[in-house]
C-alpha cells in the first residue's frame, strides 16, 4: 500500500492545541487516513482506483454496517496534558496504548486545574454524577475557586517539602490532589477513537473531558476527514431506538396514539428531541 501521507495532518504535527487552563493535545504521529481505510476494505494496491464519491460511499457503508476492521488500520498517537481526574475517566477506554509520566521518577510540576467561574456549579438534583446547569452566584464561584487554589498550593508545598527532605518520590506524591496535571502519550486506532468520541462528546459526559474530546475530533478530521464526516453523520448525530421505541415511532407515523409511559416515554422523547436539535 505504501505510506499514506495526509497533507492536512502533516501541517499540524507537534502543534499544541490548548484545552482547559493549562492542558493541551498534540498529534505526535499518525498511520494512514481515509485512503488507508478504503484500500484495506478493498484489499487493493495503489491509489486513485476509485472516485472520491465511491470512496465516501464505501466509508459510509462500512460505518453503517459496523464493519470496523478497516478503521483499525488508521492509528493516531497523541501527547496529552490533562488533570488526573480527567485521566482517570479517560483510561476507562482500555482499547489504546499509553505511557504516562511517572511521579516515582520525575519531580511533578506545580500545575493544577482550576475551573472557570462559570464552570463552578452545585450538584445536579436529577443527575447523580453531574453538576447543575444553573449558574452559581459569581461571588460564591470565586470563593470556591480561591478555596481550590489554596488547597492545591498547600498540597504542593507539602509535596515539595517531603522531596527536599529526601523522602522517596513515590511516597511524597501520594497526597497530591486529582486536580494535578499529568501527561501521557496515547495511541489509538480510528475505530476505537470513534468509540471514545461517541461517549465523551455526549452532553452527559463531564465538561472537562468533553472539551478534550472536541479537540481530539478536530485533529482526527485532519487525518481522516471523510471517515470523520461519516462518523458524525451516522453515529454521532444518529439515534438508536429499542424495539419498543421503534414500535412507538411507527404508531406515531401511522397516526395512532402512543403506548409508552413514564421513564420509557421520557427517554424516547429525549431521543426525538436530540435528533431534531442535530
19 forms beta bridges with: 23
List phi, psi (to 5°) of 137.
-55, 135
Contact 205, 199 (CB under 8 A): yes
Residue with cell 475530533: 217
Angle at 22 between CA 110 and CA 18, to 5 degrees: 155
Q: How many helices (H) and strands (E) does the chain have?
A: 11, 5
Active site residues: 200
Contact 172, 104 (CB under 8 A): no
Contact 183, 101 (CB under 8 A): yes
Amino acid at each position: 500500500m505504501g505510506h499514506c501521507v495526509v497533507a492536512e495532518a502533516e501541517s499540524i504535527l507537534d502543534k499544541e492545541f490548548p484545552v482547559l487552563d493549562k492542558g493541551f493535545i498534540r498529534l505526535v504521529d499518525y498511520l494512514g487516513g481515509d485512503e488507508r481505510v478504503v484500500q484495506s476494505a478493498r484489499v487493493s494496491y495503489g491509489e486513485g482506483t476509485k472516485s472520491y464519491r465511491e470512496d465516501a460511499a464505501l466509508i459510509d457503508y462500512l460505518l453503517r454496517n459496523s464493519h470496523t476492521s478497516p478503521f483499525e488500520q488508521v492509528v493516531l498517537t497523541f501527547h496529552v496534558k490533562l488533570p488526573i481526574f480527567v485521566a482517570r475517566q479517560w483510561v476507562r477506554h482500555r482499547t489504546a496504548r499509553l505511557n504516562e509520566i511517572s511521579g516515582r521518577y520525575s519531580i511533578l510540576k506545580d500545575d493544577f486545574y482550576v475551573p472557570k467561574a462559570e464552570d463552578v456549579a452545585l450538584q445536579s438534583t436529577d443527575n447523580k454524577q453531574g453538576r447543575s446547569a444553573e449558574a452559581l452566584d459569581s461571588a460564591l464561584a470565586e470563593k470556591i475557586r480561591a478555596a481550590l487554589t489554596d488547597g492545591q498550593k498547600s498540597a504542593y508545598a507539602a509535596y515539595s517539602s517531603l522531596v527536599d527532605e529526601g523522602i522517596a518520590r513515590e511516597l511524597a506524591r501520594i497526597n497530591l490532589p486529582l486536580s494535578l496535571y499529568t501527561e501521557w502519550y496515547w495511541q489509538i486506532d480510528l475505530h476505537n477513537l470513534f468509540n471514545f468520541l461517541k461517549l465523551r462528546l455526549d452532553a452527559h459526559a463531564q465538561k472537562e473531558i468533553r472539551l478534550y474530546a472536541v479537540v481530539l475530533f478536530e485533529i482526527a478530521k485532519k487525518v481522516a476527514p471523510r471517515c470523520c464526516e461519516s462518523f458524525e453523520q451516522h453515529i454521532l448525530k444518529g439515534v438508536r431506538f429499542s424495539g419498543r421505541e421503534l414500535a412507538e415511532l411507527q404508531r406515531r407515523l401511522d397516526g395512532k396514539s402512543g403506548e409508552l409511559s413514564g421513564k420509557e416515554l421520557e427517554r424516547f422523547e429525549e431521543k426525538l428531541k436530540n435528533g431534531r436539535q442535530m
